[in-house]
Amino acid sequence: MRKILLTLLLLAAPVAALAADGVPLMKAHVDVTDIPSLQRGAKLFVNYCAGCHSAKYMRFNRIAADLQLPEDLVEQYLIFTGAKIGDTMTTVMSPQDAERWFGVAPPDLSLTARRRGADWVYTYLNSFYRDDSRPVGVNNLIFPDVGMPHVLWELQGMPMPVYGENSGPEGGLRVVGVRVPENGGRLSEREYREATRDLTNFLVYMSEPIKAYRQSLGVKVLVFLLVLLVLTVLLKREYWKDVH
d(CA 184, CA 231): 62
| Residues in region 88-127 near ligand HEC by CB under 6 A | 102, 104, 106-107, 109, 112, 116, 121, 124
Least separation in angstroms between residue 44's CB and ligand HEC is: 6
* Residue pair 213/62 in contact by the 8 Å Cβ criterion: no
Nearer to ligand HEC, 153 or 167 (CB): 153
d(CA 175, CA 21): 10
Can residue 199 be called a binding residue for ligand HEC (CB under 6 A)? yes
CB within 8 Å of 164: residues ≥ 6 apart: 173, 174, 175, 176, 177
Contact pick of 23, 31, 34, 51 for ligand HEC (by CB under 6 A):
51
Can residue 159 be called a binding residue for ligand HEC (CB under 6 A)? no
Least separation in angstroms between residue 216's CB and ligand HEC is: 26
d(CA 43, CA 71): 14
Can residue 48 be called a binding residue for ligand HEC (CB under 6 A)? yes
Of the listed pieces 18-26, 75-83, 146-154, 210-218, which binds ligand HEC according to CB under 6 A?
Answer: 146-154
Can residue 197 be called a binding residue for ligand HEC (CB under 6 A)? no
Nearest residue to ligand HEC, scored by beta-carbon proximity: 49
Of the listed pieces 10-18, 49-57, 186-194, 229-237, which binds ligand HEC according to CB under 6 A?
Answer: 49-57
Nearer to ligand HEC, 149 or 161 (CB): 149
Biggest CA–CA distance in the chain, Å, is 89
Can residue 147 be called a binding residue for ligand HEC (CB under 6 A)? yes
31-57 residues labelled b (16+ CB within 10 A) or e (exposed): ebebeebbbbbbbbbbebbbebbbbee
In this structure, the number of other CB atoms found within 10 A of the CB of residue 169 comes to 6
Can residue 152 be called a binding residue for ligand HEC (CB under 6 A)? yes
d(CA 22, CA 13): 13
d(CA 182, CA 29): 25
| Residues in region 215-244 near ligand HEC by CB under 6 A | none
* Residue pair 126/185 in contact by the 8 Å Cβ criterion: no
**Which residues lie near ligand HEC (CB under 6 A)?**
48-49, 51-53, 102, 104, 106-107, 109, 112, 116, 121, 124, 146-149, 151-152, 199
